Amino acid sequence: MKFSNTYIFYPVNKALELAIANSIGRLGDEFTEVAAADTGVTAADNFLYTRGNYEQHRFSSNILGGVREALEIILTDEYRKQEPVAWAETQNSLGNILAAQGQQQRDVESFKKAIQCFNNALEEFNQEKSPFEWAATQYNLGTANQALGRQLDNAKLLKTSIDAYTNALLVWSRKETPGEWASAMHQLGATFHTYGRLLKGDRTFQKSVVAYKNAIAEFDADNNAFELAATHNNCGAVLHHLGESEENLDRLQEAIRSYETALTVCMEQQLPIHLAVLCRVNKSTALSVLAELTKDTALAFEAADEFELIIECFPHALQPLCLKHCEEQSKTASMLAIGSGS
């Protein structure tokens, strides 16, 4: 079946930012200014947290090429013999840099090299002797496979991602490492969602919902405002698609409540306005689907009015494709309202 278009949020990639921060010292002084992120407000800010797993905000994306070259130079066989742990950590850093370039350029080969770097690191790190390093590398491996699997619509890569996140959760626990555990649960939810869309599998969607709800249980608005909003929004998207797949009104209503909660967190915690707008777009899309399934004229009018309001009041916060989506959905909801009322 054809699922509705929904918008999901991606958490900050802390492993990527750490890889850049730890590697800048290997570059010359001339890179110092290049490394600093551009803090000026631009139209690109409307894409923050929506572009994928390897978006980062602390550093300029121009630094990636220089860091990659510097890391590739030092990863020699001699370095591995002398300092195997440092060599494995450097493989992790290079893998994140390569994956960021892969996402930026939609370059499959960069992603494949990133995945190889993480597998190289796992030759030195093992669950028994270095469990936390092993878990972090498994998490990195899961994220790279998830990103490439999403880009290629490749179920095998997504299954590999699920296995890697599951491995990380053999070490990370809610009690001992709550932040890492919640992040892995969030990413597991995201991977199950994408995997479920490819498989047209309701059971896989259900696993995604469980993973997201696990993450929600750990995040709180004061300390993890974006993560909480993102997880509610993304969980809403899975429930939305599950409701469409099952033609289940309860699922769609639960999706709407999830979007509403995400919107509330965005507004109360003063997150970037485009995130709140995307929550409203998702909610309105779910309302339109619910109206179609129930032949409810009032709901159809509500959805149409909401889309018109979004287009009129927040054009500056909408990405171009999202604006097109809103315009199309507004027409669809209006036609449904008129048709249902005739």
What residue ranges define each of the domains in the chain, with the CATH number in brackets? 1-37+49-218 (1.25.40.10), 221-342 (1.25.40)
Q: What is the spatial distance between Cα 122 and Cα 82, in angstroms, rounded to a whole number?
A: 17
How much is the pLDDT for 273?
96
Per-residue pLDDT at 36: 59
Token code pair at residue 89: 């950590």
pLDDT of residue 34: 56
Residues 116-133 have pLDDT tens digits of: 999 999 999 999 999 999
Cβ contact 243:206 at 8 Å: no
pLDDT of residue 41: 44
Reported as a single tens digit per residue, the pLDDT across 59-84 is: 888 899 999 999 999 999 999 999 99
Q: From residue 129, give the alpha-carbon distance in Å to each of 39, 79, 90, 139, 289.
A: 42, 20, 18, 17, 51
Q: Compute CA distances 174 → 53, 110, 219, 233, whole Å.
A: 22, 33, 11, 22
CA distance linking residue 239 with residue 259, whole number of Å: 10
Integer Cα distance of 114 and 125 in angstroms: 17
What is the Cα–Cα distance from 308 to 311, expressed in whole angstroms?
A: 5
Q: How confident is the model at residue 176, as a pLDDT?
A: 97
- Distance CA(199)–CA(171), nearest Å, equals 29
Q: How far is CA 326 from the centre of its chain?
A: 22
Indicate the length of the chain as a whole number.
342
Predicted local distance difference test score (pLDDT) of residue 125: 98
> Considering only CA atoms, which of 134, 183, 140 is closest in space to residue 161?
140
pLDDT at 342: 45
Residue type, 129: K
Which residues contact residue 90 at a Cβ distance below 8 angstroms, ignoring those fewer than 6 apart? 71, 74, 75, 79
* Lookup: tokens for 283: 């909610």
**Which of 289, 288, 265 lies closest to 276 in space, CA to CA?**
265
pLDDT at 196: 96
- Neighbouring residues of 158: CB distance < 8 A, sequence distance ≥ 6: 145, 146, 149, 150, 191, 194, 195, 198
Which regions in the chain score pLDDT beneath 50? 39-41, 342
